[in-house]
Amino acid sequence: MKNFHYHMPVDLFFGQGQLQQLAPQMKRFGNRVLLVYGGGSIKRNGIYQQIMDIFAQEQISFWELSGVEPNPRLETVVRGVELCREHQIELVLAVGGGSSIDCAKVVAGSVQYDGSPWDIVLDSSLAQDVLPIGVVLTLSATGSEMDPMAVITNTQLNLKYGVGHPDFIPKFSILDPTFTYSVPASQTAAGTADMMSHTFENYFTLQDGAFISNRLAEAVLQTCIQYAPIALREPDNYEARANLMWASSLAINGLLKYGKDCPWSVHAMEHALSAYYDVTHGVGLAILTPAWMEYILDDTTAQMFADYGYHVWQLERSLDTMSAAKAAINKTREFFASLGIPMSLRQLGIPEDMLETMAKSAPKGGNTINGVKPLHWQDVLNIYKMAY
Ligand code: NZQ
Ligand code: ZN
């Protein structure tokens, strides 16, 4: 096990009714709030009204950045920065899924920076005096409620990049599983694929792993496998929504990777798809993950995938290593398909002749993704073709 530093400074409030924590948490940071949210789901499911009531009761001054897109765009971040400057905002409060949270993070990090927020996406050290960020989570998927990352899309450059900064970790996050009852089936499925992918990215490695981290990762995967089908059948099943919500945070808050090196592979390949075709992040991951597993399956990786099959899918130990690895990959694909996710890039309407362009843009600032196995852009193209 490698050395590590565990520092997770978010105040996280989990469970039904925890919105009661919003006022005391906000007041730690000030009285002037930028409320960041998406295309209106929070108005339809009543969360917006609950927040308005709290703002009124507590005499919070607030301004709104609404309409944050799934795959949040640079222009929206710029709009948020202007609002913060104009109204001397003291806290940026995201109410929504990863897109609203990520947008809020880069807004908060760009207020004191004179240039474009895109510079900060490329170089997070430019973010100074990041405004405090608060979160009310409404969708279990990205783990942005408990991590230092944000992902922003630049539609002019066809780039979607992640950026990390320690001060992008929310100061507080409120996770009420009942707020996810209204999440549609397609987003429940995509969110599950996303949190499973975060777990895979932290789990699969050819270097010496950390036993305890791997067993924790398997628990998160089993939670997704157990509860996503229940949440799809019964959207207001509290136990299912609660387990998925906590799994989303645990998958990416660092816990699963302590003590090991985790070279991520699939996310960069997905971000290139979203940058060009506004693909739902979790859907792209579900399509690419089994193809990637198959592509890198050989004598050096078979044990890794076989262990995943034995531990997570309870495959028979009598299976030889390569057969178990193949069976585990098939189980993964079948599971995503069973959630109703379209399982090919063709079904997303991506033209085949664009695969090469996207493959070339997938490695951030280079030719190669340094994943479990290094992936040159030509490898990425091969994986896209397998997933087509
Ligand atoms: O926009 P509204 O109207 O709110 O509707 C949203 C949106 O259409 C809807 N939704 C959210 N909560 C709902 C709801 N609908 C009904 N009831 C609710 N309670 O769901 C749709 C998707 O929302 P979005 O926020 O885009 O989804 P998600 O949480 O999956 O976030 C995706 C973004 O996060 C990035 C992705 O790349 C993508 O841009 N990621 C962020 C990461 C991070 N910060 O660490 C890591 C991830 O790997 C990922 O890359
Ligand atoms: Zn993800």
Residue 241 and residue 283 in one domain = yes
- Mean pLDDT over each residue of the chain, to the nearest integer: 97
Coil, strand or helix at 365: coil
Decide which of 179, 203, 226 is a domain's last residue: 179
Last residue of a domain, one of 137, 156, 179: 179
Q: How far apart are CA 282 and CA 335, in angstroms?
A: 14
Say if ligand 1 is within 6 A of residue 67 CB: no
Q: Same structural domain for residues 146 and 291? A: no
| Ligand nearest to the Cα of 151, by number | 1
Write the residue with the smallest CA distance to atom 48 of ligand 1.
142
Residue 57 lies in a domain: yes
Looking at the structure, tell me whether residues 226 and 337 fall in a common domain. Answer: yes
Is residue 387 pLDDT above 90, yes or no? yes
**Which pLDDT belongs to residue 100?**
98
The end-to-end CA distance of the chain, in Å, is: 38
Q: Which two tokens stand for residue 219?
A: 């628990």
Q: Does the residue 305 lie in any domain?
A: yes
Query: Ligand 1, closest atom to CA 102?
Result: 44
Dist. CA 231–CA 242, nearest whole Å: 10
Tens of pLDDT, residues 153-208: 999 999 999 999 999 999 999 999 999 999 999 999 999 999 999 999 999 999 87
From 102, 257, 271, 288, give the residue whose CB has the most ligand 1 atoms within 8 Å, as the site to mutate.
Answer: 102
210 & 316 share domain: yes
The model's pLDDT over 336-356, given as tens digits with 9 standing for 90+, comes to 999 999 999 999 999 999 999
Tell me how many domains the chain contains. 2
Q: Is the pLDDT at 209 greater than 80, yes or no?
A: no
| Per-residue pLDDT, 365 | 78
| 283 has a pLDDT exceeding 80 | yes
105: nearest Cα among 160, 170, 154: 170
- Ligand 1 centroid to residue 54 C-alpha, Å: 24
- Which residues span the domain enclosing 370? 185-387
pLDDT at 98: 98
Q: By the 8 A CB rule, do 91 and 55 touch?
A: no
- Cβ of 38 less than 6 Å from ligand 1: yes
Q: Is the pLDDT of residue 295 over 80?
A: yes
State whether the beta carbon of 379 lies less than 6 angstroms from ligand 1.
no
- Split at pLDDT 50, 70, 90, the class of 366 is confident
- The pLDDT of residue 64: 98
Residues 111 and 225 grouped into a single domain: no
Q: Considering the domain boundaries, does residue 3 fall inside one?
A: no
In this prediction, residues 284-288 reach a mean pLDDT of 98
Q: Of the bound ligands, which one is closest to the alpha carbon of residue 273?
A: 1
- pLDDT value at position 208? 75
Residue 328, pLDDT above cutoff 90: yes
| Partners of 150 in the β-ladder | 163
Is residue 48 included in any domain, yes or no? yes
**Rounded Cα gap, residues 262 and 13, in angstroms:** 28
Place 311 in a pLDDT band, splitting at 50, 70 and 90.
Answer: very high
CA of 209 to the centre of ligand 1 (A): 31
Quote the pLDDT of residue 175.
98
- For residues 196 and 155, membership in a common domain is answered with no
Span 86-90, mean pLDDT? 98
Residues 6+ apart with CB under 8 A from 348: 273, 277, 279, 283, 284, 287, 342
Percent of the chain with pLDDT over 90: 96
136 lies in the same domain as 19: yes
Q: Tell me if 154 is assigned to some domain.
A: yes
Calculate what percentage of the chain has a pLDDT beyond 70: 100
Do 353 and 214 share a structural domain? yes
Residues 21 and 97 placed together within one structural domain of the fold: yes
Q: Indicate the top mutation candidate among 8, 37, 41 to test ligand 1's pocket, ranked by most ligand atoms within 8 A of CB.
A: 41
pLDDT tens-digit map of 215-257: 999 999 999 999 999 999 999 999 999 999 999 999 999 999 9
DSSP reduced 3-state for 223: helix
Apex CA 177: angle with CA 173 and CA 180, to 5°?
100
300 lies in the same domain as 267: yes
Amino acid letter for position 31: N
- Quick check: 248 and 281 in contact, CB under 8 A? no
| Ligand 1 centroid from CA 361, angstroms | 23
CATH classification of the domain holding 221: 1.20.1090.10
Structure letter (DSSP) for residue 307 = H
Please name the residue whose Cα sits nearest to atom 25 of ligand 1.
97
The protein residue whose alpha carbon is closest to atom 15 in ligand 1 is 183
Cα 195 to ligand 2 centroid, rounded to whole Å: 7
Please report the pLDDT score of residue 207 as a whole number.
84
Q: What is the CATH number of the domain that holds 106?
A: 3.40.50.1970
- Ligand 1 centre to CA of 91 (Å) is 21
Q: Which of 133, 142, 201 to mutate for ligand 1's pocket (most ligand atoms within 8 Å of CB)? A: 142
Q: 20-54 pLDDT, tens per residue?
A: 999 999 999 999 999 999 999 999 999 999 999 99
Ligand 2 center from residue 31 Cα (angstroms): 33
Please determine, for residue 19, whether its predicted confidence score (pLDDT) is greater than 90: yes
